[in-house]
Amino acid sequence: MTNTDKLEASLIYPREVKIRDGRNVSLRLMEAGDNQRILNFANSLPPDDLLFLRTDITDPRTIDEWVRSIEAGTTITVVAELDSGVVGYASLHTEGARWTRRVGEVRVQVGVDYRGAGLGKRLVGEIFRLGQVRDQEDGRDDDPGPEERAGCIRRAWLPGRGDAPRLGG
Ligand SMILES: CC(C)(COP(=O)(O)OP(=O)(O)OC[C@H]1O[C@@H](n2cnc3c(N)ncnc32)[C@H](O)[C@@H]1OP(=O)(O)O)[C@@H](O)C(=O)NCCC(=O)NCCS
C-alpha cells in the first residue's frame, strides 16, 4: 500500500460492526504479523470449504506469499475479528488476473459459526468501498477502456495501480 492508502485505511479501520445475530465484529486491514491468526482461521474451516479455495490457506507459505502481496500492493484484505480471532475475510487480488491488469478477483471466506448473518456481504462491501473511495479521490479514468467497451462494469479502483481497473460484471 502507498502511504496515502495507509492513511485512508487508518481513518476507516479498525471499526466495529454488528452482524445480524447481534454479535459485534471488528474490521481492519490484514497486515504483516497476521500470519498465525489467518492460519488459525484457515485450520478452523471444514475440509470441504478448503477444497474450493484457489490456494491452500492452511499452508504457512501461502500466507507468507499473501502478506508479501499485501505489502507489494497487489492484494488488499479486510479481516473480521471477534475476541482477537479471525472469523472471516474478504480479499481483492490483482496479481492472479494476468490476462489484464485491470481485472481483480475478490475472495471471501466466513467462519462456520458466523455464516448467514450478513458478514460475507459486509466484507465484500468493504473491499468495494475501499476501491471506490480511492476512485473518487483520484477522479481518474472517465474514459471507458477496452474492458468496459467489451461489456465489463467498473466496480472499483484497485489499490496499488497507476490507472483505474475494472472488475468483470
Ligand atoms: C459464501 C460465504 C462467504 C457467504 O458469507 P455469509 O456471511 O454466510 O453470507 P451473508 O450472510 O452475508 O449472505 C450474503 C448473501 O449471500 C447468500 N449466500 C450465502 N452463502 C451462499 C452460498 N454458499 N451460495 C449462494 N448464496 C449464498 C445469502 O443468501 C445472502 O443473500 P441475500 O443478500 O440475497 O440475502 C460464506 O458462507 C462462506 O465462507 N462459505 C464457505 C465457502 C463457500 O461456500 N464458498 C462459496 C464459493 S464457492
More confident of the two residues 151 and 69: 69
Q: Provide the phi-psi class of 161: left if phi over 0, else alpha when psi is between -120 and 50, else beta.
A: beta
**Which DSSP string do the residues of 114-140 spell out, in sequence order?**
GTTSSHHHHHHHHHHHHHHHHHHHHT-
84-112: average pLDDT: 82
Which amino acid, one-letter code, is at 96?
G
State which of 110, 112, 123, 126 you would mutate to test the pocket of ligand 1, scoring each by most atoms of that ligand within 8 A of its C-beta: 110
123-147: average pLDDT: 64
pLDDT at 132: 63
State which of 121, 124, 126 you would mutate to test the pocket of ligand 1, scoring each by most atoms of that ligand within 8 A of its C-beta: 121
Please give the CATH architecture assigned to the domain spanning 3-149: 3-Layer(aba) Sandwich (3.40)
pTM: 0.80
Our answer on whether the CB atom of 97 is closer than 6 Å to any ligand 1 atom is: no
Output the residue whose Cα is nearest ligand 1's atom 47.
Answer: 52
More confident of the two residues 53 and 10: 53
State the pLDDT confidence band at 7, using cuts at 50, 70 and 90. confident
More confident of the two residues 4 and 9: 9
